[in-house]
A and B are shown apart, each in its own frame.
Chain A
Amino acid sequence: MAPGRRRPLLLLLWAALCVGPGLAVDRSNFKTCEQSGFCRRQRAIPPGRSPYRALLDSLQLLPDAARIQLLNEATKVPLMLELRGLRGNITRIRITELNPPRPRFEVPDVLMDEIPAEPLEVLGRDGDTLELSLGPGGPHRLLVTGSPFRMDLLRGRRLLCSVNARGLLVFEHQRQRPHSLMDIGGWVGRAWDKISALFHRDPPQDAPQDPPSENGATNEDGATGGADEKPPDNEEEPGAWEETFKTHTDSKPYGPMSVGLDFSLPGFEHVYGIPEHAESLRLRSTQGGDPYRLYNLDVFQYELHTPMALYGSVPLLWAHGPPGTLGIFWLNAAETWVDIGSNTAGKGGGETPQTDVRWMSENGVLDVFLLLGPAPHDVARQYGTLTGTQALPPLFSLGYHQSRWNYRDEEDVLAVERGFDRAAVPLDVLWLDIEHAHGKRYFTWDPTHFPHPRDMLRRLADKKRKMVSIVDPHIKVDPDYRVHNELRARGFYVKTKDGSDYEGWCWPGSTAYPDFTNPEMREWWASMFAYDQYEGSTETLFTWNDMNEPSVFSGPEVTMHKDARHRGGWEHRDLHNLYGLYVQMATAEGQIRRSGGRQRPFVLSRAFFAGSQRYGAVWTGDNAAEWGHLRISIPMCLSFALAALSFCGADVGGFFQNPDTELLVRWYQAGAFQPFFRAHAHLDTVRREPWLFGEEVAGLIRHAVRRRYALLPFWYTAFYRSHRHALPVMRPLWMEFPEDTATFAMDDQYMLDRALLVHPVTEQGARGVHVYLPGKDEVWYDVDSHQQHVAPQTLYVPVTLSSVPVFQRGGTVVPRQERPRRSTECMRGDPYTLHVALSPQGTAEGDLFLDDGESFAYDTERRFLHRRFSFANGTLTASSADPQGSFPSSSWLERVVILGAPKPSSVLLRPPGGPETPLHFQLEGPTLTLRKPGVPIGADWEIVLR
């Protein structure tokens, strides 16, 4: 039995014990489903009584889509169902109002270029059911049933997914406000037209209008099933036209507009994804509790294992099981709740297991992409096709980052930097939190503590190190602050429902919020990163976007009022979850532009949405120095990874509170094997730079960080793969071992790329860990002892304080650079070591990507090397994995370590066209080390063991 199986119970117990004295979120600040009007309304709908009917005769087959009208039998409001079969096994389902009185919000800037759609074909019609093929010749078919409306998606003869099988489709059509309020509502709408016209050069093309009367005549919420009664149900319901939470009233001028839909997944027991939640990798059934919530929020001192919303949202859910792997991408940026039901939860089994998923969003249209796999890698690629892949990080950003709220002044910064050299701990980036700016006016420097930022940056750059400064999206309202004045003068701030600049309270005091949904505003924001605009900045200064949910201390749920207005007259409720993505997008764009389009940006963001992977890194926000928070960092980053956010990390050491040295060391060890590796701490914690706890602790941390640096070529190559092929860097075991059911719920260990299995020690006082080594007839090698272990098995690994159990999969090659330099830049040109771990068949395969580590030349000029190393028949062969690339690297091959090879009698190096040269080698236990082949890393060669 895998140890992972026992873990959730233990964690729950632990969490229960810790709720009392430990840190705890103030739950009353955040809505439950019951307190969120549309969630309450939708959840109250009983299943199995769908009022929707598909008018199959209305079928229209277009070259790239099929259209069918849906009718709500109760309200008679017609909807339009649009089906597309996109190339690569993606099915898109859209439902909109057929005659919307006012356009509904459709999420922009998330999807990549239009994916070509395959022509759909009617395969047949059987009474009330229509059969469509999703792409010619493909295995996928869709059965559309008329009444009640439902759809069943089949692969061959297997049912993969049913849509509206439980009859929970909800589409709250736009309606007229009840009479008593109608006039006022109409007036507000017209007034808004005028006000917004004043603030925008282009009058909003989609300004609200009074709904046409024929739609307004019937007012029932169809989903309630009420037939002909006149008093409309949901308008009687409090909260339909106005909602109050705590002291905040949401005016809801357009009334209820929520959408919802259910999906049944027969044969699936495991679902994942929909970050961000402080939750195990496998999502739990939400029956009897709140649904998982997606609504970007600044949650102070968040708790573990709750479905509460956190800083970011990606509405992508994965299902994995015997039928294969499936993704459901619910493209909606409004507040969203996701219910998970399971017919095996708490039961002995017997019937076919099934997972039911139900999505509910406050606004917008219903736009769903079914990613049909069939394998985990396929779903990852399909999602990558839709929303893009991980931006290739500048190499330095894969190194170690040292942050703290706050490094006080320039002297402090330089002293810490020197400290790292003295302690011989590698370091790439030092971070400055909000105190560095003058009165929290971002883009400025505190004149007392940071009077000479360029000098400071130059001194760091002399040591091949970078800096990150924080630039938050809340702008101090201060007539002496240029950034504020420009934003105000240009009308770039988010507006209140009454048209004035929306102001709230945040770190600097009274603040306003740039409207990042406005491309002109983003353009301007990007221009602020020019070296002459952001005074004191240099090409080695990068950016951290915090508080971009957005956090509004004075707002409902610590965020922006939903009735605030964005460009085009859209309400904040329409696009809340997108705001943070736009902030990071505009910031990354600014960094690209300041370099004339040449250099890759680095921007860390706390809030995110689908597509944020294209702009940089994300982290798990303000965690705490607790063992539970260390443990949760793994499933959280795995969930991020499933949502294509490969560049994920958690604050090493924990943000709130003070870790003891054991926790600190364990966190460094775990963090060194997570993609974004940054230590960070709260203002009120005691200092915790690695050398402050004595030489033993410093040594352990040094060792952990150096391991990270030695593996940087491997990390960088994995990121390149993520960038090119949408495969996550950090992966759940089941992505690599999709057949092995023992791995499906495991989240205390994971894969890095396809080669390394990592099981960090995350238990206090641990003396050993149980590591599950998956893979039928495979072998694994302990990367420290090089000892070989057969799989599958659960291996007990005794640990000391210096142990980080990591295993290399037999059949892989891992490139390393083993000289313990001060920073990544210092490693440029260093030679490589290849760790070749042989499969039982005596083969291995691996690759290495390298370029200048900082520019777009790999893309624009193909200046890169992508090398392939393969071992078979006693011969290790280096060849090009991508002949399009070329890059003049001075690096060479220092060493080859072969694990699992028999002792050869001789080893020969065969350079291309050159004479064979014997290589010195040494066999120590299971390790064969080939001494100094010395060939350039970009060259083709062979090494033959005899």
Chain B
Amino acid sequence: MAAPSRARPAGAATLKMAAAAVRGHRAWRDRKFLPRRFRFRRVDPGPAARPPAMLPLVMMLLVPPVLPGTVEVTRPRGVSLSNLHFYEPSGPFTCLDGSATISFSWVNDDYCDCRDGSDEPGTAACPNGHFHCTNAGYRPHSIPSAHVNDGICDCCDGTDEYDSGTNCENTCRERGRREREQQQRLAQVAQEGFALREQLVREAAAARKDKEERLGGLQEARGGLEQRVGTLRAAKEAAEGPEREAREEQRRRGEAEQRAAAEAARADEAFAELDSDGDGQVTVAELRLRPELDTDGDGAVSEDEAQALMGDTTPLDAAAFRDRLWATLRERYRPQGQTEPPPPPPEPPLEENPPEEEEDEDEAEEEEEEEEESEGPEEELKVPPPQPPEEKGGAEELPPLDAAAQALVDAAQRARQELEEAERALKETEESIRALEQELAFDFGPEGEFSYLYNQCYELGTSEYIYRLCPFKRVSQKPKHGGAETNLGTWGAWAGPEHDRFSTMKYEHGTGCWQGPNRATTVKLSCGTETAVTATTEPSRCEYLMELVTPAACRAPPPAHDDHDEL
């Protein structure tokens, strides 16, 4: 207020002075910028007018507050009620920082005399001063002096623009109403959210207890399992000795049989060849056709020689040939068309496969390590169960085991299986322990209220991307229209200010940016009745900002809402 046209009867004497002072300053103001209400009051038009120095310097602009229903108090413009007692018109004014004492007429005279700006609470004269808006109907507010009369309405009651020609509407009531509604909404959310939070806290405590118990149980079980694995390993080793022997015996036997069969096949071949007339019998005459069978070195096979080779029986059928004559002939016999002795049968290929079992174990360990690194139980990269050792390399060719040997092998197989199962159980237990320990070690807030976010993921779609936040794990971004997912950071730490550490999460070391840093995401948490990612932006290149509402971030609402304004 205090524009002359808005002058109210209250404090009329002082207002007269104020009006005069304002007119003094207004006198040279451009008509264009002058609001209509001033135009009628212009006394001295043009630059030749008397300067304001000629006018009373007293510029104590007293403001009658416009709060209906309250006692009217006059005070210098821009002074808060709490500071009113410093501004006593009857005496000199001492700057609030004590830097100077000046005549009270220099208070609010649009010239800065105090270092702290306290002599000009109602003008823009001091660079470091403050103007107090009463903002009846809303909240009182203090603005920098530089915002006074700068053409921008900063106070909702418009009192900051009393001399700029800017017509500010009083929006305090509307704002107050909106704020109260908003506060009510927020209060309701806060209340509901806080109730949910309490529940979360209870659940977290219960879950923690449960997990701790489970951990205890698992740790106990681990002891038993370790023992069992030890025992079973010894048993397995014990059972594998006899099994190895039985297998060795089996292999030896198999080899002998294989050799015999091969010999028989050669004999049959030889028989077929020697039986040159194809009558199914080998005769002396037929033997004589084979010079390589010469025994006395004369280069030919005599009948005697042939007979001697044949022995008593003649002719010989295939079976008899195989059984009786082949042993005698085999060294000398050459298959038709072949002068050199036949190449020895190719050696069976060397066993190149390393022991299967060990390999499996190695793989399993590696995968285990990977899993630890990724810390991602949600990435169900379960270790495939170790394959039972496969009997490789011509098992079917081996002769069947006899019952006793089979029993030994079966026993070893059982021992192995039992060990594997026990080891798997141990590993699983250890994993569970690790996961539990990790989870229990996490800082889920002072009361564990954030623990429910663990193992959850929340998504938000924008026009281009789907953003995914898996709290305490990672943040990622996936283009909506195809393309690879980008890691926007993995869990780093709580990163709020000291007094409010759990208001912000930091995710770091995401995918690197071209010529830039690795991507990182800051997640701001706020109170809500649901859990959701509500906004995501990239305020700086490769630095993302996400907003997560969660009941866990709700505070205890104040006992009763105090809706009382100053004044």
Chain A residues at the B interface, C-beta cutoff of 8 Å:
408, 411-412, 424, 448, 462-464, 683-687, 818-822, 825-831, 886-892, 894-895, 909, 911-912, 914-915, 917, 931-936, 938-939, 941
Contacts and interface: CB of A to CB of B under 8 A. Distances in A.
A565 B146 CA distance: 56
A909 B147 CA distance: 30
Nearest to A938: B47
A124 B515 CA distance: 70
A819 B51 contact: no
Interface in B145-163: 145-147, 150-152
Contact of B25 (A825, A887, A892, A939): A892
A895 B147 CA distance: 20
A933 B53 CA distance: 7
A821 B28 CA distance: 21
B109 A932 contact: yes
A223 to B, nearest CB: 48
Contact of A892 (B51, B146, B513, B517): B51
A807 B524 CA distance: 48
A684 B541 contact: yes
Contact of B33 (A685, A821, A829): A829
22 contacts: A685-B541, A686-B517, A686-B540, A687-B539, A820-B127, A820-B146, A821-B124, A822-B147, A826-B151, A830-B124, A888-B32, A890-B26, A890-B29, A892-B52, A911-B50, A914-B51, A931-B113, A932-B111, A933-B51, A935-B51, A935-B53, A938-B28
B48 interface: yes
A464 B150 contact: yes
For the complex of A and B, 5 pairs with smallest distance between CB atoms: A890-B29, A687-B540, A826-B150, A934-B53, A938-B47
A890 B144 CA distance: 22
Interface of B: 25-33, 46-54, 109-111, 113, 124-125, 127, 144-147, 150-152, 164, 463, 513-517, 537-541, 543
B164 A939 contact: no
Nearest to B124: A819
Among B51, B124, B145, B463, residue most surrounded by chain A Cβ atoms (within 10 Å): B51
B51 A829 contact: no
A828 B543 CA distance: 39
Contacts of A464: 150-152
A684 B125 contact: no
Given A686-B540, A687-B539, A890-B26, A936 B49 contact: yes
Contacts of B113: 931
A555 B454 CA distance: 55
Contacts of B144: 424
Among A424, A827, A936, residue most surrounded by chain B Cβ atoms (within 10 Å): A936
A684 B539 contact: no
Contacts of B538: 408
Nearest to B113: A931
A934 B515 contact: no
B51 A822 contact: no
Among A411, A412, A828, residue most surrounded by chain B Cβ atoms (within 10 Å): A828
A819 B147 CA distance: 10
Contacts of B48: 912, 939
Given A684-B513, A686-B540, A687-B540, A888 B29 contact: yes
A377 B489 CA distance: 60
B111 A821 contact: no
A890 B541 CA distance: 46
Contacts of A819: 124-125, 127, 145-146
Given A462-B152, A463-B152, A685-B541, A829 B29 contact: yes
A829 B164 contact: yes
Given A686-B541, A890-B30, A892-B28, A825 B151 contact: yes
Nearest to B464: A448
B115 to A, nearest CB: 12
Contact of A934 (B52, B150, B152): B52
Interface SS of B by simple majority: loop
Contacts of A888: 28-32, 46-47
Contacts of A686: 516-517, 540-541, 543
Contacts of B49: 936
A818 B147 CA distance: 13
B69 to A, nearest CB: 32
B53 A932 contact: yes
A895 B112 CA distance: 10
Contacts of B124: 819, 821, 830
Nearest to A933: B53
Contact of B516 (A684, A828, A909, A917): A684
A931 B111 contact: yes
B541 A683 contact: yes
B464 to A, nearest CB: 8
B68 to A, nearest CB: 29
A934 B513 CA distance: 58
Among A463, A826, A887, A890, residue most surrounded by chain B Cβ atoms (within 10 Å): A890
Contact of B51 (A463, A911, A931): A911
A826 B124 CA distance: 11
B546 to A, nearest CB: 15
Given A819-B125, A820-B146, A934-B52, A889 B30 contact: yes
A504 B47 CA distance: 59
A78 B234 CA distance: 113
Contacts of B147: 822
Contacts of A915: 54
B28 A890 contact: yes
B146 A412 contact: no
Contact of B127 (A818, A912, A933): A818
A944 to B, nearest CB: 14
A227 to B, nearest CB: 59
Contacts of B46: 888
Nearest to B31: A888
Nearest to A830: B124
A941 B51 CA distance: 10
Contacts of B54: 911, 914-915, 917
A895 B152 CA distance: 25
A598 to B, nearest CB: 13
A825 to B, nearest CB: 7
A888 B146 CA distance: 23
Nearest to B535: A411
Nearest to A706: B127
Contacts of B47: 886, 888, 936, 938-939
A914 B47 CA distance: 13
A424 B26 CA distance: 28
A777 to B, nearest CB: 36
A639 B53 CA distance: 47
Contacts of B111: 894-895, 931-932
Nearest to A819: B124
A909 B31 contact: no
Contact of B50 (A821, A886, A914): A914
Given A819-B127, A820-B127, A914-B51, 9 more contacts: A408-B537, A683-B541, A819-B145, A821-B124, A829-B33, A888-B28, A890-B33, A911-B50, A934-B51
Nearest to A818: B127
A890 B164 CA distance: 10
Contacts of A934: 51-53
Contacts of A886: 47
A687 B53 CA distance: 49
A886 B31 CA distance: 13
Contacts of B540: 686-687
A806 to B, nearest CB: 19
A412 B539 contact: yes
Nearest to B102: A920
A368 to B, nearest CB: 45
A405 to B, nearest CB: 10
B47 to A, nearest CB: 4
A119 to B, nearest CB: 47
